[in-house]
Amino acid sequence: MFNSLSKTIEQFLNFDTINADRKVILQPLIDFIQSKQANKEAINLNFICTHNSRRSHLAQIWAQVATYYYGVEKLTTYSGGTEETALFPKVAEILSIQGFSIASISEGNNPIYAIKYADNIQPIIGFSKKHDHSFNPISNFVAIITCSQADDECPFIVGAETRISIPFEDPKASDYSSIQDKVYTERSLQIAAEMFYVFSQI
């Protein structure tokens, strides 16, 4: 894992920023992963929010890093939305500052990024897509809803074994303001800490 990313991870590994209420919200995901591990089954996590532009990407990326960090096998993370937009550039910028290597594969209205966290690991491919896009699994996955709006708009997700609601506050409210960097940094670290907490329990 990149040294700069390891230093970021050290900031939250005591999990003291996660209160008891959030741990209750995270427990169903822990239980799901634990059950799959016990049965030696492949695990697919699809993080879903409305626009697949901010929170679902952060959750996918940090969950994949936590998988690697804790050595959880046969697990792959994905993300999608109820609609396709674009990965918001500030997300890629903050992740780069926090230690990821971000490379632009294509530009345009919906850019595609290669997001690496270690030298010899296949990069995460980041771009906005609907949750049922061909890039994502069509069955045998858990749908993890990262915003309340997507929870309301997706009462049923075809192919999902189960759905789990883990909402995060949208950093979008800070866009183009003086506190934007602070808010995006805090949200990324919150999501990172919670995903690492989940995998620390497996």
Give residue-wise pLDDT tens across range 43-88. Answer: 999 999 999 999 999 999 999 999 999 999 999 999 999 999 999 9
Tokens of 157: 């997700």
> Mean pLDDT score of the chain, rounded to an integer?
95
List the beta strands (DSSP E) in 137-193: 141-145, 160-165
pLDDT of residue 17: 94
pLDDT of residue 23: 98
* Domain tally, the chain: 1
- 48 and 141 in contact (C-beta within 8 Å)? no
CB atoms within 10 A of CB 119: 8
Q: Residue 10 sits in a domain of what CATH number?
A: 3.40.50.2300
Q: Which structural domain range is residue 77 located in?
A: 3-200
Q: How far apart are CA 1 and CA 100, in angstroms?
A: 9
Q: Encode 3-23: b = buried (16+ Cβ within 10 Å), e = exposed.
A: eebeebbeebeeeeebeeebe
For the segment 95-113, what is each residue's pLDDT rounded down to a tens digit? 999 999 999 999 999 999 9
Q: Decide if pLDDT at 149 tops 80.
A: no
pLDDT of residue 157: 87
pLDDT of residue 131: 94
Q: Decide if pLDDT at 150 tops 60.
A: no
List the beta strands (DSSP E) in 82-128: 101-106, 112-116, 124-126
